[in-house]
Structure 1
Amino acid sequence: MDESGGRAVTARARAYEWVREAVLLGRYPEGSFLEEKVLSEAAGVSRTPVREALHRLAAEGYLDLLPRRGAQVRRVTVAEMVETYEMRQVLEVHGFRTLCDKRLEIPARQAELLAQMGGAELLARCRAGDREAIAEHGKLDFLFHFGFVEATGNTVLTDLFRSLRPRHQRIGVSAITIRPERLPLIMREHTALLDALGAYDFETAARTIRTHLNPDQTVVAHLQ
């Protein structure tokens, strides 16, 4: 790759990561419009990589591109949350069955991710409404669930679950922002999942994930 191509790729990546993080951290609230000029100045890149980043983020579900109005931060809706949870249940329950039937090794990293999510400082910051901490928790949450799916060795299943990452994290950040007091329950359910799968107890793991992905009614009411 030539030097100009290398710079272009770096600029695209920088623009994408900057805007994505800004959305997850709430710098641009749901429903707000994004201006290419403002974003290019903030991210330190030209408008072309910003425009490309906006199109990528729209394809991933972070934004909506509206004719003659530009890019708008997408709102998390009840329908999107329910549909995402339903699809996650399908994929995760299938993955759990594979793990248990074949008695595949559970990655050691699962316990490490669980410990990070349960860290006292991170949880305290989340409960205090620290959006950066909530976004970090959302990232760890995805990696925790993804780790079980990836451990199946089924590449199609893994790719399908990976494609849900933007929705997984957006919905998770929104739900915790609305109801941070659910964090202890979330941790208990994560611990139950790890314990069940470590013992190859499919029924308990499947029951736990279905409960875990049952939409919280307070969050539902807030999003309506």
Structure 2
Amino acid sequence: MIKSSGESPTPTARDQAYQWAKEAILGSRFPEGSFLEEKVVSDEAGVSRTPVREAFHRLAAEGYIQLLPRRGAQVRSVTARELFETYEMRQVLEIHGFKLLCDKRAELPPGLHEHLDRMEDPEQLERCWAGDRDAIARHATLDFFFHFSFVKASGNGVLIDLFRSLQSRHQRIAVSAVSLRPRRLRVINPEHRTLLDALTVHDFETASTTLRRHLNPDEQVISHLR
């Protein structure tokens, strides 16, 4: 995965609870519609109840769960409307980033080809095709950072912040969509290569056309969402 330079700070107890719960949701230990229990997260993450409650508020703000009075924390379901609206906003932000990047003839960050190699690792793809939600969640994380790399290369700080704010939706939707149609990765991954090749030579038209196709909602996925 493409990483920023510098050492990562030591995670707080709230961070530990948040990370454990997020991975458990994306990996389908807690499926959509199920409830997260504070005690389970506290025991598994090795922290007290207070940071778990703080983590729940962050997860709710990012759309992973709903905090229901007297019922607890329920894992949110991805809806067709959320998918459509997120794809629509991603197109707006990413295509604008492509335009800035190409107009400036900005250099892309190093390591993107290797990043795609990781996304196309045969063993990981086999696990995705078999419906392994942990493998699908890892692919979704790699997918976000691949697309985010182009937005960062645009150099527009506000655009970067706006796209970063979509990370949780991006990953939740990617996990849900790929879980429903894992073989679609055979289409998605080559489109990533086309995007990278186009933006390497600052070919805005090919990049924007490819992204629109890339983010065209799959009818079979939509038919399974509410």
- TM-score of the superposed pair, with normalisation by structure 1: 0.94
Cα RMSD for the two superposed structures: 1.3
Residue number among 56, 59, 62 corresponding to 2:58 in the alignment: 56
Aligned to 2:22: 20
Task: Write the deviation string for residues 161-214 of structure 1: whole angstroms up to 9, x where unpaired.
Answer: 000000000000111100001001001111110111112110110011011001
Q: 2:106 is paired with a residue of what secondary structure?
A: coil
Amino acid at match of 2:35: F
Residue number among 38, 45, 48 corresponding to 2:47 in the alignment: 45
Deviation at 1:96, TM superposition (A): 0.4
Structure whose residues are more often helix by fraction: 1
Distance 2:113 2:40 in 1: 41
Residue number among 56, 65, 68 corresponding to 1:66 in the alignment: 68
Q: 1:29 is paired with a residue of what secondary structure?
A: coil
Distance 1:213 1:69 in 2: 36
Kindly, what percent of the aligned residue pairs are identical? Answer: 65
Deviation at 1:109, TM superposition (A): 2.1
Aligned to 1:190: 192
Runs of 4+ in 1 over 6 A off after TM superposition: none
Q: Are 2:93 and 1:91 equivalent residues in the alignment? A: yes
Q: 1:222 is paired with a residue of what secondary structure?
A: coil
- Count residues in correspondence: 218
Task: Write the deviation string for residues 136-171 of structure 1: whole angstroms up to 9, x where unpaired.
Answer: 100000000000000111111111000000000000
Aligned to 1:3: none
Contact persistence 1:113–1:143 (CA under 8 A): no
Deviation at 1:82, TM superposition (A): 0.5
- TM-score of the superposed pair, with normalisation by structure 2: 0.94
Contiguous gaps of at least 5 residues in structure 1: 1-5
Q: Which stretch has the larger CA shift, 83-92 or 110-119?
A: 110-119
Q: 1:214 is paired with a residue of what secondary structure?
A: coil
Contact persistence 1:66–1:72 (CA under 8 A): yes
Amino acid at match of 1:100: C
Distance 1:163 1:169 in 2: 11
Residue number among 34, 37, 46 corresponding to 1:35 in the alignment: 37
